Amino acid sequence: MSFWAKLDDIEQKFNDIEAQLGSPEIYQDQQKYSELAKKHSDLYQIVGKYREYKRVCADLDANTELATDPDREIQELARLEIKGLEQLKADLEDDLKALLIPEDPLDKKSVILEIRAGTGGEEAALFAADLLRMYSRYAENNGWKVELLHTNQTGSGGFKEVIASISGGRVYSRLKYESGVHRVQRVPSTESQGRVHTSAVTVAILPEADEVDVRIDPHDLRIDVFRSSGPGGQSVNTTDSAVRITHEPTGLVITCQDEKSQLKNKAKAMKVLRSRLLQMKQDEAKQEMDQTRRAQVGSGDRSERIRTYNFPQSRITDHRINLTSHNLEEIMAGGLEEIIVPLDRSFQTRFMQEQ
C-alpha cells in the first residue's frame, strides 16, 4: 500500500469509528465505547494533519489557477501565496511521514541513567556530576521524578559512577539518543596555569524494565551484603546494608549502597539489573538487524563520541548531526530541548529515507 493510500485508509477508519461513537448502541456498551474512543484518539493527530495537508493542496491548486489570471495584481498575489503554500505542503508531508513511523514500544518507558567518569581523572568525575545536574534539571522541567540508585562519589564532589532512575511519561523517547561518550573541554579548578584540559564521560540510557519484560530466575543470582563505603573507602554504615547482585549467566554485577535498608538497596539493584538485561536483549536484536541494515536509526553506539562541551567558547557540538550551539550555559542548566528536538527529527528523517 502506497503512503497516500495508507493515509486514505486511516482517514476512512477514523470516519467509521466516529460514526460508531455516535451510535446509542455503542454508547451503552462502555467497554466497546472505550476501545473505539482510544482508537479514535490514536488516529486523531494523523487524520487532522492529513486533512490540513489536503486543504493546503486545494488552496495551492486554486492559487496556481489564479496565477494565470489576466489581472497582473491577482497574478502577483497568487504567486506570493503559492510560495508559502508550497513550503507548508512540504512541512506537512514531512510531519505525516514522521507520524506514520511505527512507534518504538520502549518510548513510553522510564529510564535508568548511568553516568561514568572516563579519561580525565578528577575533572571527568566533576563533569559527571555536572551531567547528572543537567539531566536532573531537564527532568524537573518535564515533571519527571529522579531517584539516585547508586553513587561512587569522589572527595571533591564528583562521581566516578552514578546511576539514577528517571520516571515519567515518555522519558525514553526524549533521552534515548543521549547514550555515548560526552567530551568536555575546559580549565579544571585544579589547573593553576589556565590550560584547557579534555576529559570524557560515558552516558548510558537504559529503558526501565518491568518484571514482565525480563524474567530472572532467582537461582541465577548470587547476592552478597557488606558495609557501605564513602569517598576514600571509609565505612559510612555500621550494618551490612550494601548489596551486590551477580547475575551468573551473564556475569553482570550490580551494587547498591545508598540506602540504609538492605531491602531497599536490593530492590534498587534488581531494577538496574532488569534494565541492563533488557538492554542486552535489545543489543542482540539490533546486531542481527544490522547484518541487513547497517544504518539502523537510534543505534546508540556508546563507544563513539557523540558530543563535545567546550566551556571556554561556550559551545556545544553534537557530532552525529553536526549541530553547534553557543548556549552551553543554558543547556547545562537543563535546556536540553535545543539539542534533543533536532536529534529526534534527524533520526526520524534518516529512518524515513531508509523505508
Half-sphere exposure of 321 (CA within 13 A, CB side): 21
Residue 286 Cα to chain centre, angstroms: 17
Each residue's pLDDT tens digit, 327-352: 999 999 999 999 999 998 888 777 76
Length of the chain: 355
pLDDT at 299 over 70: no
SS3 at position 316: strand
Hey, what domains does the chain have and what are their CATH numbers?
A: 3-99 (1.20.58), 111-290+302-354 (3.30.70.1660)
Each residue's pLDDT tens digit, 186-217: 998 777 778 999 999 999 999 998 776 788 99
Confidence of residue 353 (pLDDT cuts 50, 70, 90): low
Dihedral, CA of residue 131, residue 318, residue 338 and residue 347, to nearest 10? -120
pLDDT at 303 over 50: no
Measured CA to CA in angstroms, residue 104 lies from 29, 46, 107, 180 at distances of 32, 17, 5, 20
Residue 114's CB is within 10 A of a number of other CB atoms, namely: 22
Report which of 217, 241, 218 is spatially closest to residue 228, judged by C-alpha positions: 241
Can you tell me which residue has the cell 527532568? 139
Give the separation between CA 160 and CA 131, rounded to whole angstroms.
12
Measured CA to CA in angstroms, residue 66 lies from 73, 77, 78, 83, 353 at distances of 10, 9, 6, 13, 35
Average pLDDT (175-186) is 95
Average pLDDT (287-310) is 56
Q: Lowest mean pLDDT: which of 5-9, 46-50, 96-100, 197-201?
A: 96-100
Residue 30's CB is within 10 A of a number of other CB atoms, namely: 10
State the pLDDT at residue 297: 28
Residue 126 in grid coordinates: 566533576
State the pLDDT at residue 9: 93
pLDDT at 178 over 90: yes
State the pLDDT at residue 296: 28
As a whole number, the mean pLDDT across the chain is: 87
Report which of 310, 339, 337 is spatially closest to residue 322, judged by C-alpha positions: 339
Backbone angles phi, psi at 119, to 5 degrees: -70, 140
State the pLDDT at residue 20: 92
Average pLDDT (111-117) is 95
Report which of 109, 171, 179, 119 is spatially closest to residue 140, judged by C-alpha positions: 171
**Residue 211: burial class (beta carbons within 10 Å; 0-12, 13-18, 19+):** exposed
Highest mean pLDDT: which of 62-76, 134-148, 198-212?
Answer: 134-148
Residues in contact with 270: Cβ distance below 8 Å, sequence separation at least 6, in sequence order: 216, 245, 254
Residues in contact with 102: Cβ distance below 8 Å, sequence separation at least 6, in sequence order: none
SS3 at position 250: coil
Bridge partners of residue 243, in order along the sequence: 225, 256
State the pLDDT at residue 294: 37
State the pLDDT at residue 151: 92
Percent of the residues in the chain that have a pLDDT greater than 70, as a whole number = 90
Q: Please tell me which residue, 137 or 209, carries the higher pLDDT value.
A: 137
Confidence of residue 290 (pLDDT cuts 50, 70, 90): low
Each residue's pLDDT tens digit, 232-285: 555 555 577 899 999 999 999 999 988 888 999 999 999 999 999 998 888 886
Give the separation between CA 347 and CA 353, rounded to whole angstroms.
10
Bridge partners of residue 318, in order along the sequence: 307, 323
State the pLDDT at residue 231: 61
Backbone angles phi, psi at 101, to 5 degrees: -65, 130
Can you tell me which residue has the cell 572516563? 118
State the pLDDT at residue 268: 93
Give the separation between CA 271 and CA 264, rounded to whole angstroms.
11
pLDDT at 298 over 60: no
Average pLDDT (91-99) is 86
State the pLDDT at residue 281: 85
Residue 61's CB is within 10 A of a number of other CB atoms, namely: 11
Q: State the pairing for strand pair 159-167/145-153.
A: antiparallel
Confidence of residue 2 (pLDDT cuts 50, 70, 90): confident
Give the separation between CA 184 and CA 198, rounded to whole angstroms.
6
State the pLDDT at residue 355: 56
Give the separation between CA 34 and CA 85, rounded to whole angstroms.
38
Q: Please tell me which residue, 228 or 196, carries the higher pLDDT value.
A: 196
Residue 113 in grid coordinates: 541513567
